[in-house]
Chains A and B, each alone.
Chain A
Protein backbone atom coordinates (compact mmCIF):
# COMPACT_ATOMS: atom_id res chain seq x y z
CA UNK A 1 0.00 0.00 0.00
CA UNK A 2 1.19 3.50 -0.65
CA UNK A 3 1.26 5.71 2.42
CA UNK A 4 1.06 9.41 2.79
CA UNK A 5 2.74 11.25 5.65
CA UNK A 6 0.81 14.16 7.13
CA UNK A 7 2.59 16.62 9.36
CA UNK A 8 2.02 19.84 11.23
CA UNK A 9 4.64 21.87 13.03
CA UNK A 10 4.69 23.73 16.31
CA UNK A 11 7.68 26.01 16.29
CA UNK A 12 8.77 27.86 19.40
CA UNK A 13 11.12 30.75 18.97
CA UNK A 14 12.72 32.83 21.69
CA UNK A 15 12.47 36.52 20.95
CA UNK A 16 15.50 38.78 20.73
CA UNK A 17 14.24 41.19 23.38
CA UNK A 18 16.52 42.60 26.02
CA UNK A 19 14.20 41.60 28.83
CA UNK A 20 11.77 38.86 29.70
CA UNK A 21 8.13 39.00 28.67
CA UNK A 22 6.70 39.95 32.07
CA UNK A 23 9.59 41.45 34.07
CA UNK A 24 12.74 43.52 33.72
CA UNK A 25 15.16 40.58 33.95
CA UNK A 26 17.74 40.11 31.21
CA UNK A 27 17.20 37.41 28.60
CA UNK A 28 20.93 36.97 28.09
CA UNK A 29 21.88 33.35 27.50
CA UNK A 30 24.04 31.63 30.07
CA UNK A 31 25.11 33.18 33.34
CA UNK A 32 25.21 31.61 36.78
CA UNK A 33 21.96 29.88 37.75
CA UNK A 34 19.14 32.12 38.98
CA UNK A 35 21.02 35.35 38.34
CA UNK A 36 18.53 36.60 35.73
CA UNK A 37 15.66 36.08 38.11
CA UNK A 38 13.42 38.36 40.18
CA UNK A 39 10.29 38.01 42.31
CA UNK A 40 8.04 38.11 39.24
CA UNK A 41 9.66 35.42 37.10
CA UNK A 42 10.25 33.15 40.08
CA UNK A 43 6.55 33.29 40.93
CA UNK A 44 6.81 34.86 44.38
CA UNK A 45 3.46 35.35 46.11
CA UNK A 46 1.87 38.73 45.37
CA UNK A 47 3.75 39.48 42.16
CA UNK A 48 2.07 40.46 38.90
CA UNK A 49 3.16 40.23 35.26
CA UNK A 50 4.05 43.39 33.32
CA UNK A 51 3.91 42.96 29.56
CA UNK A 52 6.98 43.88 27.51
CA UNK A 53 5.88 46.18 24.64
CA UNK A 54 8.56 44.80 22.32
CA UNK A 55 7.05 41.30 22.46
CA UNK A 56 3.81 42.59 20.96
CA UNK A 57 5.73 44.43 18.24
CA UNK A 58 7.74 41.33 17.40
CA UNK A 59 4.63 39.16 17.30
CA UNK A 60 2.89 41.55 14.92
CA UNK A 61 6.04 41.81 12.81
CA UNK A 62 6.19 38.03 12.51
CA UNK A 63 2.49 37.84 11.73
CA UNK A 64 2.80 40.40 8.94
CA UNK A 65 5.87 38.67 7.51
CA UNK A 66 3.98 35.38 7.37
CA UNK A 67 0.80 36.80 5.82
CA UNK A 68 -1.29 36.47 9.00
CA UNK A 69 -4.39 38.31 10.10
CA UNK A 70 -3.62 40.34 13.24
CA UNK A 71 -6.17 39.81 16.01
CA UNK A 72 -7.18 43.35 16.87
CA UNK A 73 -8.24 42.52 20.40
CA UNK A 74 -6.19 39.70 21.80
CA UNK A 75 -5.76 38.41 25.32
CA UNK A 76 -3.57 36.22 27.45
CA UNK A 77 -4.74 33.00 29.08
CA UNK A 78 -3.31 30.81 31.78
CA UNK A 79 -2.27 27.27 30.96
CA UNK A 80 -2.15 25.43 34.27
CA UNK A 81 0.12 22.50 35.02
CA UNK A 82 2.52 21.45 37.73
CA UNK A 83 6.19 21.07 36.93
CA UNK A 84 9.25 22.40 38.76
CA UNK A 85 10.39 24.43 35.73
CA UNK A 86 7.18 26.46 35.89
CA UNK A 87 7.28 28.44 39.15
CA UNK A 88 3.72 29.85 39.03
CA UNK A 89 2.39 26.42 38.01
CA UNK A 90 0.80 28.15 35.06
CA UNK A 91 2.24 29.41 31.84
CA UNK A 92 0.90 32.70 30.57
CA UNK A 93 0.03 31.98 26.96
CA UNK A 94 -2.74 32.70 24.46
CA UNK A 95 -5.43 30.14 23.71
CA UNK A 96 -8.72 31.88 23.01
CA UNK A 97 -7.53 34.93 21.12
CA UNK A 98 -3.98 34.51 19.77
CA UNK A 99 -2.35 37.61 18.32
CA UNK A 100 -2.00 36.27 14.73
CA UNK A 101 -4.08 33.84 12.73
CA UNK A 102 -4.44 32.41 9.25
CA UNK A 103 -1.13 33.04 7.47
CA UNK A 104 1.11 31.02 5.19
CA UNK A 105 4.69 30.45 4.07
CA UNK A 106 5.58 29.24 0.59
CA UNK A 107 7.86 26.23 0.30
CA UNK A 108 9.36 24.31 -2.60
CA UNK A 109 7.00 21.64 -3.82
CA UNK A 110 8.08 18.21 -5.04
CA UNK A 111 7.10 19.15 -8.62
CA UNK A 112 9.52 22.07 -8.57
CA UNK A 113 6.82 24.67 -8.07
CA UNK A 114 5.77 26.25 -4.79
CA UNK A 115 3.28 25.17 -2.17
CA UNK A 116 1.61 27.20 0.57
CA UNK A 117 1.94 25.88 4.11
CA UNK A 118 -0.84 27.36 6.22
CA UNK A 119 -0.10 29.03 9.55
CA UNK A 120 -2.95 28.33 11.92
CA UNK A 121 -1.88 30.83 14.55
CA UNK A 122 0.97 32.60 16.26
CA UNK A 123 0.76 33.30 19.96
CA UNK A 124 2.90 34.91 22.63
CA UNK A 125 3.92 33.02 25.74
CA UNK A 126 6.63 32.66 28.35
CA UNK A 127 9.40 30.08 28.40
CA UNK A 128 9.97 27.71 31.33
CA UNK A 129 13.10 27.32 33.43
CA UNK A 130 15.75 24.66 33.16
CA UNK A 131 16.07 21.46 35.15
CA UNK A 132 19.43 19.86 35.69
CA UNK A 133 19.21 16.28 36.75
CA UNK A 134 22.07 15.79 39.12
CA UNK A 135 23.67 12.43 38.39
CA UNK A 136 25.33 12.13 41.76
CA UNK A 137 22.54 13.00 44.12
CA UNK A 138 18.89 12.17 44.33
CA UNK A 139 17.72 15.62 43.35
CA UNK A 140 16.95 17.84 40.42
CA UNK A 141 18.29 21.40 40.36
CA UNK A 142 16.07 24.19 39.08
CA UNK A 143 17.38 27.30 37.34
CA UNK A 144 14.86 30.02 36.40
CA UNK A 145 17.18 32.09 34.19
CA UNK A 146 15.22 31.09 31.06
CA UNK A 147 11.93 31.31 32.86
CA UNK A 148 9.85 34.13 31.38
CA UNK A 149 11.93 34.58 28.26
CA UNK A 150 9.42 35.58 25.58
CA UNK A 151 8.41 32.99 23.03
CA UNK A 152 6.32 32.97 19.94
CA UNK A 153 4.65 29.69 19.16
CA UNK A 154 4.01 29.37 15.45
CA UNK A 155 1.51 26.63 14.74
CA UNK A 156 1.20 25.40 11.17
CA UNK A 157 -1.72 23.66 9.54
CA UNK A 158 -1.21 19.92 8.90
CA UNK A 159 -0.05 20.74 5.38
CA UNK A 160 3.31 18.98 5.18
CA UNK A 161 3.67 15.79 3.16
CA UNK A 162 7.44 15.28 3.20
CA UNK A 163 10.51 15.92 5.33
CA UNK A 164 11.84 18.16 2.53
CA UNK A 165 8.83 20.44 2.88
CA UNK A 166 9.31 20.57 6.62
CA UNK A 167 12.96 21.48 6.36
CA UNK A 168 12.32 24.05 3.64
CA UNK A 169 9.55 25.62 5.75
CA UNK A 170 11.82 25.76 8.77
CA UNK A 171 14.59 27.33 6.75
CA UNK A 172 12.18 29.94 5.37
CA UNK A 173 10.67 30.59 8.77
CA UNK A 174 14.06 30.86 10.36
CA UNK A 175 15.18 33.34 7.74
CA UNK A 176 12.02 35.40 8.30
CA UNK A 177 12.53 35.43 12.06
CA UNK A 178 16.16 36.37 11.69
CA UNK A 179 15.66 38.97 9.01
CA UNK A 180 12.86 40.66 10.91
CA UNK A 181 15.13 40.82 13.94
CA UNK A 182 12.57 38.90 15.96
CA UNK A 183 14.87 36.06 16.95
CA UNK A 184 18.45 34.97 16.49
CA UNK A 185 17.14 31.41 16.00
CA UNK A 186 20.10 29.65 17.54
CA UNK A 187 18.99 26.06 17.66
CA UNK A 188 21.73 24.91 19.98
CA UNK A 189 20.69 27.53 22.54
CA UNK A 190 17.11 26.46 22.11
CA UNK A 191 15.95 29.73 20.60
CA UNK A 192 14.29 27.83 17.75
CA UNK A 193 12.56 24.57 18.61
CA UNK A 194 10.25 22.54 16.47
CA UNK A 195 7.81 19.84 17.53
CA UNK A 196 6.49 17.67 14.72
CA UNK A 197 2.97 16.22 14.75
CA UNK A 198 2.97 13.29 12.40
CA UNK A 199 0.44 10.77 11.19
CA UNK A 200 0.26 8.49 8.19
CA UNK A 201 -2.69 7.41 6.07
CA UNK A 202 -3.19 5.35 2.94
CA UNK A 203 -2.75 7.60 -0.06
CA UNK A 204 -6.11 8.93 -1.17
CA UNK A 205 -7.79 8.61 2.24
CA UNK A 206 -9.38 11.82 3.45
CA UNK A 207 -9.35 11.28 7.22
CA UNK A 208 -6.19 11.82 9.18
CA UNK A 209 -4.52 8.94 11.00
CA UNK A 210 -3.69 9.01 14.70
CA UNK A 211 -0.84 11.39 15.27
CA UNK A 212 2.13 11.48 17.55
CA UNK A 213 4.04 14.54 18.66
CA UNK A 214 7.83 14.49 18.52
CA UNK A 215 9.96 16.69 20.74
CA UNK A 216 13.64 17.38 21.32
CA UNK A 217 14.47 18.00 17.68
CA UNK A 218 17.62 20.09 17.88
CA UNK A 219 18.74 20.46 14.28
CA UNK A 220 17.25 20.40 10.81
CA UNK A 221 19.11 17.15 10.23
CA UNK A 222 17.60 15.63 13.36
CA UNK A 223 14.15 16.72 12.20
CA UNK A 224 14.55 15.03 8.84
CA UNK A 225 15.83 11.85 10.47
CA UNK A 226 13.15 11.83 13.14
CA UNK A 227 10.42 12.24 10.53
CA UNK A 228 11.78 9.36 8.51
CA UNK A 229 12.00 7.19 11.59
CA UNK A 230 8.56 8.04 12.91
CA UNK A 231 6.82 7.61 9.56
CA UNK A 232 8.46 4.22 9.16
CA UNK A 233 7.50 3.23 12.70
CA UNK A 234 3.85 4.16 12.19
CA UNK A 235 3.64 2.47 8.79
CA UNK A 236 5.18 -0.70 10.25
CA UNK A 237 2.63 -0.71 13.05
CA UNK A 238 -0.27 -0.21 10.65
CA UNK A 239 0.99 -2.76 8.17
CA UNK A 240 1.25 -5.28 11.00
CA UNK A 241 -2.39 -4.58 11.74
CA UNK A 242 -1.61 -2.54 14.85
CA UNK A 243 -2.80 0.84 16.03
CA UNK A 244 -0.80 4.01 16.45
CA UNK A 245 -1.07 5.38 19.98
CA UNK A 246 -1.52 9.12 20.37
CA UNK A 247 1.46 10.13 22.47
CA UNK A 248 4.39 12.45 22.84
CA UNK A 249 7.71 10.99 21.78
CA UNK A 250 11.19 12.15 22.44
CA UNK A 251 13.81 11.93 19.71
CA UNK A 252 17.25 10.62 20.65
CA UNK A 253 19.51 11.86 17.90
CA UNK A 254 22.55 9.90 19.05
CA UNK A 255 20.76 6.60 18.86
CA UNK A 256 18.55 7.62 15.96
CA UNK A 257 15.36 6.48 17.67
CA UNK A 258 12.40 8.06 19.39
CA UNK A 259 10.66 6.78 22.48
CA UNK A 260 7.38 7.55 24.19
CA UNK A 261 7.67 10.02 27.05
CA UNK A 262 6.15 8.66 30.19
CA UNK A 263 3.02 10.62 30.94
CA UNK A 264 3.53 12.78 33.98
CA UNK A 265 0.68 11.14 35.84
CA UNK A 266 -1.56 14.06 35.04
CA UNK A 267 -4.66 14.04 32.96
CA UNK A 268 -3.36 16.76 30.59
CA UNK A 269 -6.17 19.09 31.59
CA UNK A 270 -4.61 22.52 31.28
CA UNK A 271 -7.69 24.36 32.59
CA UNK A 272 -7.09 27.37 30.38
CA UNK A 273 -8.84 30.56 31.44
CA UNK A 274 -8.35 34.27 30.72
CA UNK A 275 -5.38 35.75 32.60
CA UNK A 276 -6.96 38.23 35.03
CA UNK A 277 -3.69 40.02 35.76
CA UNK A 278 -3.14 41.29 32.22
CA UNK A 279 -5.51 43.67 30.43
CA UNK A 280 -6.27 42.80 26.80
CA UNK A 281 -4.14 44.10 23.95
CA UNK A 282 -5.86 46.23 21.37
CA UNK A 283 -4.00 46.68 18.11
CA UNK A 284 -4.80 49.73 16.05
CA UNK A 285 -4.32 50.39 12.35
CA UNK A 286 -1.71 52.96 13.28
CA UNK A 287 0.25 50.37 15.24
CA UNK A 288 0.18 47.95 12.33
CA UNK A 289 1.29 50.71 9.93
CA UNK A 290 4.14 51.58 12.26
CA UNK A 291 5.30 47.97 12.47
CA UNK A 292 5.07 47.70 8.68
CA UNK A 293 7.10 50.86 8.24
CA UNK A 294 9.79 49.59 10.58
CA UNK A 295 9.85 46.12 9.05
CA UNK A 296 13.35 45.14 7.97
CA UNK A 297 13.81 43.81 4.42
CA UNK A 298 12.68 40.19 4.15
CA UNK A 299 14.59 37.44 2.27
CA UNK A 300 12.38 37.52 -0.85
CA UNK A 301 12.74 41.29 -1.19
CA UNK A 302 16.47 41.02 -0.69
CA UNK A 303 16.74 38.41 -3.44
CA UNK A 304 14.87 40.63 -5.86
CA UNK A 305 17.07 43.57 -5.01
CA UNK A 306 20.27 41.55 -5.40
CA UNK A 307 19.15 40.38 -8.82
CA UNK A 308 17.85 43.71 -10.06
CA UNK A 309 20.24 46.18 -8.48
CA UNK A 310 23.41 44.15 -7.97
CA UNK A 311 23.14 41.91 -11.01
CA UNK A 312 23.61 38.65 -9.14
CA UNK A 313 22.33 35.37 -10.56
CA UNK A 314 19.28 33.96 -8.79
CA UNK A 315 21.24 30.96 -7.60
CA UNK A 316 23.63 33.21 -5.66
CA UNK A 317 20.83 35.19 -4.08
CA UNK A 318 19.16 32.05 -2.74
CA UNK A 319 22.33 30.95 -1.04
CA UNK A 320 23.21 34.37 0.31
CA UNK A 321 19.75 34.94 1.77
CA UNK A 322 19.61 31.52 3.41
CA UNK A 323 21.14 32.97 6.54
CA UNK A 324 21.17 36.44 7.99
CA UNK A 325 24.87 36.08 8.84
CA UNK A 326 25.67 35.74 5.12
CA UNK A 327 23.46 38.69 4.24
CA UNK A 328 25.13 40.90 6.81
CA UNK A 329 28.61 39.87 5.67
CA UNK A 330 27.68 40.23 2.01
CA UNK A 331 26.07 43.65 2.24
CA UNK A 332 28.83 45.14 4.35
CA UNK A 333 31.56 43.62 2.17
CA UNK A 334 29.95 45.01 -0.99
CA UNK A 335 29.95 48.45 0.62
CA UNK A 336 33.69 48.14 1.12
CA UNK A 337 34.78 46.44 -2.09
CA UNK A 338 32.14 47.68 -4.52
CA UNK A 339 32.02 44.39 -6.35
CA UNK A 340 28.97 42.28 -5.55
CA UNK A 341 29.87 39.31 -7.69
CA UNK A 342 33.33 38.98 -6.11
CA UNK A 343 31.84 39.28 -2.62
CA UNK A 344 29.19 36.67 -3.46
CA UNK A 345 31.76 34.29 -4.93
CA UNK A 346 34.10 34.56 -1.99
CA UNK A 347 31.27 34.00 0.52
CA UNK A 348 29.70 31.10 -1.36
CA UNK A 349 33.10 29.56 -2.05
CA UNK A 350 35.82 30.08 0.51
CA UNK A 351 33.81 31.40 3.45
CA UNK A 352 31.27 28.59 3.36
CA UNK A 353 34.03 26.03 2.90
CA UNK A 354 35.89 27.38 5.91
CA UNK A 355 32.70 27.32 8.00
CA UNK A 356 32.00 23.81 6.91
CA UNK A 357 35.54 22.52 7.52
CA UNK A 358 35.64 24.02 10.98
CA UNK A 359 32.07 23.05 11.87
CA UNK A 360 31.21 26.69 12.61
CA UNK A 361 27.63 27.89 12.33
CA UNK A 362 27.15 31.03 10.25
CA UNK A 363 25.82 32.96 13.26
CA UNK A 364 29.01 32.17 15.19
CA UNK A 365 31.30 33.39 12.42
CA UNK A 366 33.77 36.04 13.53
CA UNK A 367 34.98 37.03 10.05
CA UNK A 368 34.51 40.77 9.61
CA UNK A 369 33.42 42.37 6.33
CA UNK A 370 36.45 44.69 6.59
CA UNK A 371 38.87 41.76 6.45
CA UNK A 372 37.00 39.91 3.73
CA UNK A 373 36.87 43.10 1.66
CA UNK A 374 40.61 43.64 2.20
CA UNK A 375 41.37 40.19 0.75
CA UNK A 376 39.01 40.77 -2.19
CA UNK A 377 40.49 44.18 -2.87
CA UNK A 378 44.07 42.85 -2.84
CA UNK A 379 43.16 40.12 -5.33
CA UNK A 380 41.27 42.58 -7.48
CA UNK A 381 44.22 44.95 -7.53
CA UNK A 382 46.58 42.11 -8.51
CA UNK A 383 48.53 42.58 -5.31
CA UNK A 384 48.08 38.91 -4.52
CA UNK A 385 46.73 36.13 -6.62
CA UNK A 386 43.56 34.20 -5.84
CA UNK A 387 45.48 31.28 -4.40
CA UNK A 388 47.30 33.54 -1.97
CA UNK A 389 43.99 35.19 -1.20
CA UNK A 390 42.57 31.88 -0.07
CA UNK A 391 45.59 31.27 2.14
CA UNK A 392 45.23 34.71 3.70
CA UNK A 393 41.51 34.22 4.32
CA UNK A 394 42.24 30.91 6.03
CA UNK A 395 44.61 32.74 8.36
CA UNK A 396 42.04 35.47 8.97
CA UNK A 397 39.47 32.82 9.75
CA UNK A 398 41.67 30.81 12.07
CA UNK A 399 43.68 33.52 13.81
CA UNK A 400 41.89 36.73 12.92
CA UNK A 401 45.09 38.20 11.44
CA UNK A 402 45.00 41.51 9.58
CA UNK A 403 45.13 40.52 5.87
CA UNK A 404 47.33 43.40 4.69
CA UNK A 405 49.84 43.05 7.51
CA UNK A 406 49.91 39.32 7.01
CA UNK A 407 50.68 39.65 3.29
CA UNK A 408 53.43 42.15 4.00
CA UNK A 409 55.05 40.26 6.86
CA UNK A 410 55.09 37.02 4.93
CA UNK A 411 56.21 38.64 1.74
CA UNK A 412 53.24 37.32 -0.23
CA UNK A 413 52.68 40.27 -2.51
CA UNK A 414 53.00 39.78 -6.27
CA UNK A 415 56.25 40.92 -7.89
CA UNK A 416 55.05 43.74 -10.02
CA UNK A 417 58.46 45.09 -11.00
CA UNK A 418 59.41 42.92 -14.00
CA UNK A 419 63.08 43.87 -13.85
CA UNK A 420 63.22 41.96 -10.55
CA UNK A 421 62.24 38.76 -12.39
CA UNK A 422 65.19 38.58 -14.75
CA UNK A 423 67.92 37.72 -12.17
CA UNK A 424 65.72 34.96 -10.68
CA UNK A 425 65.05 33.49 -14.11
CA UNK A 426 68.73 33.63 -14.99
CA UNK A 427 69.42 31.52 -11.93
CA UNK A 428 66.71 29.03 -12.94
CA UNK A 429 68.16 28.74 -16.46
CA UNK A 430 71.62 28.21 -15.06
CA UNK A 431 70.39 25.52 -12.67
CA UNK A 432 68.49 23.55 -15.34
CA UNK A 433 70.99 23.22 -18.12
CA UNK A 434 69.66 19.86 -19.29
CA UNK A 435 66.10 20.99 -19.87
CA UNK A 436 67.27 24.24 -21.37
CA UNK A 437 69.39 22.46 -23.94
CA UNK A 438 66.52 20.02 -24.71
CA UNK A 439 64.25 23.01 -25.31
CA UNK A 440 66.77 24.73 -27.43
CA UNK A 441 67.17 21.43 -29.35
CA UNK A 442 63.50 21.68 -30.36
CA UNK A 443 61.83 19.74 -27.55
CA UNK A 444 59.24 22.41 -26.80
CA UNK A 445 57.65 20.38 -24.02
CA UNK A 446 60.68 21.08 -21.87
CA UNK A 447 59.38 24.66 -21.46
CA UNK A 448 56.69 23.36 -19.12
CA UNK A 449 59.24 21.99 -16.72
CA UNK A 450 61.35 25.16 -16.81
CA UNK A 451 58.23 27.26 -16.24
CA UNK A 452 57.34 25.15 -13.19
CA UNK A 453 60.80 25.57 -11.74
CA UNK A 454 60.60 29.31 -12.33
CA UNK A 455 57.25 29.69 -10.59
CA UNK A 456 58.57 27.65 -7.73
CA UNK A 457 61.59 29.89 -7.39
CA UNK A 458 59.27 32.92 -7.47
CA UNK A 459 57.02 31.31 -4.88
CA UNK A 460 54.09 31.94 -7.22
CA UNK A 461 54.20 35.65 -6.57
CA UNK A 462 54.67 36.70 -10.20
CA UNK A 463 52.01 36.61 -12.90
CA UNK A 464 52.56 33.37 -14.89
CA UNK A 465 51.96 35.06 -18.23
CA UNK A 466 54.70 37.58 -17.63
CA UNK A 467 57.12 34.87 -16.51
CA UNK A 468 56.47 32.78 -19.60
CA UNK A 469 56.85 35.76 -21.84
CA UNK A 470 60.18 36.65 -20.28
CA UNK A 471 61.48 33.04 -20.45
CA UNK A 472 60.70 32.89 -24.16
CA UNK A 473 62.46 36.16 -24.61
CA UNK A 474 65.52 34.84 -22.80
CA UNK A 475 65.67 31.36 -24.40
CA UNK A 476 64.34 31.96 -27.91
CA UNK A 477 66.87 34.63 -28.80
Chain B
Protein backbone atom coordinates (compact mmCIF):
# COMPACT_ATOMS: atom_id res chain seq x y z
CA UNK B 1 0.00 0.00 0.00
CA UNK B 2 1.46 3.32 -1.10
CA UNK B 3 0.81 6.26 1.18
CA UNK B 4 0.78 9.73 -0.34
CA UNK B 5 0.08 13.21 0.85
CA UNK B 6 -3.43 13.13 -0.52
CA UNK B 7 -4.28 10.05 1.53
CA UNK B 8 -2.78 11.60 4.65
CA UNK B 9 -4.93 14.68 4.09
CA UNK B 10 -7.99 12.49 3.61
CA UNK B 11 -7.25 10.67 6.87
CA UNK B 12 -6.89 14.00 8.63
CA UNK B 13 -10.35 14.96 7.36
CA UNK B 14 -11.86 11.66 8.48
CA UNK B 15 -10.37 12.08 11.96
CA UNK B 16 -11.07 15.82 12.20
CA UNK B 17 -7.39 16.51 12.69
CA UNK B 18 -5.19 19.06 10.97
CA UNK B 19 -1.45 18.44 10.78
CA UNK B 20 1.22 20.99 10.04
CA UNK B 21 3.13 20.48 6.78
CA UNK B 22 6.06 19.13 8.73
CA UNK B 23 3.89 16.69 10.70
CA UNK B 24 2.20 15.65 7.50
CA UNK B 25 5.46 14.73 5.85
CA UNK B 26 6.58 12.82 8.92
CA UNK B 27 3.23 11.06 9.22
CA UNK B 28 3.38 10.03 5.58
CA UNK B 29 6.74 8.42 6.24
CA UNK B 30 5.65 6.79 9.53
CA UNK B 31 2.37 5.46 8.16
CA UNK B 32 4.24 4.08 5.17
CA UNK B 33 6.67 2.11 7.31
CA UNK B 34 3.88 0.92 9.63
CA UNK B 35 1.68 -0.17 6.73
CA UNK B 36 4.58 -1.90 4.99
CA UNK B 37 5.00 -3.91 8.13
CA UNK B 38 1.26 -4.46 8.55
CA UNK B 39 1.14 -5.74 4.99
CA UNK B 40 3.12 -8.81 6.12
CA UNK B 41 -0.28 -9.97 7.32
CA UNK B 42 -1.04 -10.71 3.68
CA UNK B 43 1.31 -13.69 3.95
CA UNK B 44 -1.10 -15.27 6.41
CA UNK B 45 -3.53 -17.59 4.72
CA UNK B 46 -7.00 -16.70 6.01
CA UNK B 47 -9.07 -18.35 3.30
CA UNK B 48 -12.31 -19.67 4.71
CA UNK B 49 -11.60 -18.24 8.16
CA UNK B 50 -14.56 -16.64 9.90
CA UNK B 51 -13.66 -13.18 11.24
CA UNK B 52 -13.78 -13.11 15.06
CA UNK B 53 -15.23 -9.92 16.46
CA UNK B 54 -15.67 -11.09 20.02
CA UNK B 55 -13.22 -13.07 22.11
CA UNK B 56 -15.55 -15.49 23.86
CA UNK B 57 -18.96 -16.86 23.00
CA UNK B 58 -21.22 -14.61 25.01
CA UNK B 59 -24.55 -13.56 23.59
CA UNK B 60 -27.85 -11.99 24.60
CA UNK B 61 -26.67 -9.75 27.39
CA UNK B 62 -29.68 -7.53 27.96
CA UNK B 63 -31.24 -5.36 30.62
CA UNK B 64 -34.91 -4.97 31.51
CA UNK B 65 -36.88 -2.03 30.17
CA UNK B 66 -37.08 -0.17 33.47
CA UNK B 67 -36.32 3.46 34.13
CA UNK B 68 -33.37 3.66 36.51
CA UNK B 69 -32.12 7.18 35.90
CA UNK B 70 -33.34 10.45 37.30
CA UNK B 71 -32.89 13.96 35.94
CA UNK B 72 -29.39 15.29 36.58
CA UNK B 73 -28.83 17.80 33.82
CA UNK B 74 -26.54 19.87 36.00
CA UNK B 75 -24.09 17.01 36.55
CA UNK B 76 -24.24 15.97 32.91
CA UNK B 77 -23.37 19.53 31.88
CA UNK B 78 -20.75 20.13 34.55
CA UNK B 79 -17.81 19.30 32.29
CA UNK B 80 -19.09 21.17 29.26
CA UNK B 81 -16.78 23.93 27.98
CA UNK B 82 -19.89 25.99 27.17
CA UNK B 83 -23.46 25.41 28.27
CA UNK B 84 -26.55 27.61 28.13
CA UNK B 85 -30.20 27.14 29.02
CA UNK B 86 -29.60 23.59 30.17
CA UNK B 87 -27.96 22.66 26.87
CA UNK B 88 -24.48 22.05 25.54
CA UNK B 89 -23.58 25.03 23.40
CA UNK B 90 -21.56 24.82 20.21
CA UNK B 91 -20.72 27.34 17.52
CA UNK B 92 -23.60 27.56 15.11
CA UNK B 93 -24.09 24.56 12.85
CA UNK B 94 -25.34 25.39 9.40
CA UNK B 95 -27.38 23.08 7.23
Complex contact flag A–B (Cβ < 8 Å):
yes
Q: Contact residue range for chain A?
A: 35 or more
Q: Is A288 an interface residue (CB 8 A)?
A: no
| Residues B93 and A250 in contact, CB atoms below 8 Å apart | no
| Residues A139 and B91 in contact, CB atoms below 8 Å apart | yes
Residues of B within 8 A of A (CB): 10, 13-14, 16, 53-54, 58-69, 71-73, 76-77, 82, 84-95
**Residues of the A chain whose Cβ atoms lie less than 8 Å from the Cβ of B72:** 37-38
Distance between Cα atoms of A6 and B88 in the complex (Å): 41
Which residue on A lies nearest to B58, using beta carbons? A279
Q: What's the least CB distance linking B77 to chain A, in Å?
A: 6
| Residues B63 and A34 in contact, CB atoms below 8 Å apart | no
- How many A-B residue pairs have C-beta atoms within 8 angstroms? Tell me: 129
**Residues of the B chain whose Cβ atoms lie less than 8 Å from the Cβ of A56:** 62
| Residues A262 and B63 in contact, CB atoms below 8 Å apart | no
For the complex of A and B, the 9 pairs showing the least CB-CB separation, nearest first, are A24-B68, A141-B87, A35-B71, A54-B65, A53-B62, A274-B53, A142-B88, A34-B73, A33-B86
Which residue on A lies nearest to B77, using beta carbons? A34
**Residues of the B chain whose Cβ atoms lie less than 8 Å from the Cβ of A25:** 67, 69
**Residues of the A chain whose Cβ atoms lie less than 8 Å from the Cβ of B67:** 18-19, 24-26
Distance between Cα atoms of A123 and B44 in the complex (Å): 34
Distance between Cα atoms of A17 and B62 in the complex (Å): 14
| Residues B68 and A140 in contact, CB atoms below 8 Å apart | no
Classify the interface of chain B: helix, strand, loop or mixed: loop
Contact partner of B94 among A38, A144, A262, CB < 8 A?
Answer: A262
Most buried by A among B59, B65, B68: B65
Q: What's the least CB distance linking B12 to chain A, in Å?
A: 12
Distance between Cα atoms of A439 and B54 in the complex (Å): 98
| Residues A133 and B93 in contact, CB atoms below 8 Å apart | yes
Q: Is A61 an interface residue (CB 8 A)?
A: no
Q: Interface stretch among A263-271, A348-356, A384-392?
A: A263-271
| Residues A51 and B87 in contact, CB atoms below 8 Å apart | no
Distance between Cα atoms of A75 and B58 in the complex (Å): 12
Q: Is A431 an interface residue (CB 8 A)?
A: no
| Residues A269 and B76 in contact, CB atoms below 8 Å apart | no
Question: What 1/0 mask marks residues of chain A from 276 to 289 whose CB sits below 8 Å from any chain B CB?
Answer: 10111110000000
Q: What's the least CB distance linking B50 to chain A, in Å?
A: 12
Which residue on A lies nearest to B91, using beta carbons? A139
| Residues B54 and A269 in contact, CB atoms below 8 Å apart | no
| Residues A84 and B88 in contact, CB atoms below 8 Å apart | yes
Distance between Cα atoms of A26 and B84 in the complex (Å): 23
